[in-house]
Amino acid sequence: MLQHCVVILKLCHALTKKLSTIQLNSVTPKLNKQILNATARIMPRFDDLMRAMAANHVDIRLLEARASSLVSTCWMLAFPFTVISPKHLNALDRLLYHLEQNATAAATAAGKNNIPDGKPLLQPLATVIEETSLMESSTDRNDSTTESQHSDEAPADPGAPVTPS
């Protein structure tokens, strides 16, 4: 798991280094804003992954989440450059592919580590939903035939008074 995180950090560094060499001659303000926003997100995500790796007690799920977040941010930063300079697409695509492969490997490793003694740490969402619906009483479920079938929807104007049906 840690080796994949180290590779992700190195690939992120290589990607940002590659992107810094691409000239931005005629960039629209919208693309420039996207690049600035993505650039501002890279270092905090990089630092988050570094801190998760350096923790005394490494939480595998947190580590995988931080790695995935950094990879997503790298994609967010690289995308405008593929529009600006398609000639660099192959080099960027290769780096992004390797980032994605390592993120997938980290997620797989995290998934294997989440199942001690064959029992998952978290219940599947379907089980949680099913158990929750069994706990509801029938009076809570909108059994009245006089109420609108959309009575559980929020009003279009949240400040508007609620009128009974």
What is the tens place of the pLDDT at every residue in 91-145?
889 999 999 999 998 888 877 655 455 444 444 434 434 443 444 444 444 444 4
Is there a domain that residue 58 lies in?
yes
What is the tens place of the pLDDT at every residue in 26-84?
888 888 898 999 999 999 999 999 999 888 888 888 899 999 999 999 999 998 888 88
Q: What is the pLDDT of residue 138?
A: 43
Assess whether pLDDT exceeds 60 at residue 156. Answer: no
Is there a domain that residue 136 lies in?
no
Is there a domain that residue 156 lies in?
no
Following DSSP, what letter does each residue of the chain receive, concatenated? -HHHHHHHHHHHHHHHHHHHTS--SS--HHHHHHHHHHHHHHHHHHHHHHHHHHSSS--HHHHHHHHHHHHHHHHHHHHHHHHH-GGGHHHHHHHHHHHHHHHHHHHHHHHHHT-GGG--SS--HHHHHHHHHHHS-GGGG---SSS-TTTTSPPSSTTSPP---
Domain ranges, residue 96: 28-114
Q: What is the pLDDT of residue 113?
A: 57
Is there a domain that residue 100 lies in?
yes
Is there a domain that residue 49 lies in?
yes
Q: What is the pLDDT of residue 57?
A: 84
Q: Distance (Å, rounded) from C-alpha 53 to C-alpha 56?
A: 9
Assess whether pLDDT exceeds 70 at residue 154. Answer: no
Can you give the pTM of this predicted structure?
0.63
Domain count, the chain: 1
Q: What is the pLDDT of residue 112?
A: 65
Is there a domain that residue 90 lies in?
yes
Q: Kindly list the distances between the CA atom of residue 1 and the CA atoms of 35, 116, 117, in Å, as whole numbers in the listed order.
A: 30, 17, 20
